[in-house]
Amino acid sequence: MAGAQGVEWHFVSTVCGIAPGEPKQVVIDDLELAVHNVGGAFFAIDDICTHAFARLSFGSIDGAVITCPLHQAKFDIRTGKVLEEPAEEDLDSYPIKIEGEKLYVGVPDR
């Protein structure tokens, strides 16, 4: 589903298919993402830690903070910003669009 401004929208789930604290892993082309429900708001970020290869969706979640299971770097789920080292590089975040009960993630056109 192509969109404006160089974003391609991909259906990933229904809204009720992503429970708070239980990220949904999504692979779009070569991007490994995780879609999160934080208090009824949805966010998509990279699922691979920027410090060392680990799937963040296997980490622990406390509110809007996800902790890497490998070295305990912390990231803000809403923005992808690093909150605690050893990671120093932020995660990429991706826009979410909801149409009815369908949830889409926007990734840059390639």
Q: What does the alpha-carbon distance between residue 47 and residue 12 come to, in Å, rounded to a whole number?
A: 14
As given in the structure block, the two tokens for residue 55 are: 């799937």
Which pLDDT score, from 0 to 100, does residue 2 have? 45
Instruction: Tokens for 7, please give them.
Output: 């974003």
Q: Round to whole Å and give the CA distance between 20 and 1.
A: 26
Q: Which amino acid is at 87?
A: A
What domains are there in the chain, each with its CATH number?
A: 7-108 (2.102.10.10)
pTM above 0.75, yes or no: yes
51 - beta bridge partners?
Answer: none
* 77 and 92 Cβ atoms separated by less than 8 Å: no
Sign of CA dihedral 9, 32, 50, 21: positive
Write out pLDDT tens, residues 79-108.
999 999 999 999 999 999 999 999 999 998
Residues paired with residue 102 on neighbouring β-strands, in sequence order = 14, 99
Query: What does the pLDDT look like over 45-69, one tens digit per residue?
Result: 999 999 999 999 999 999 999 999 9
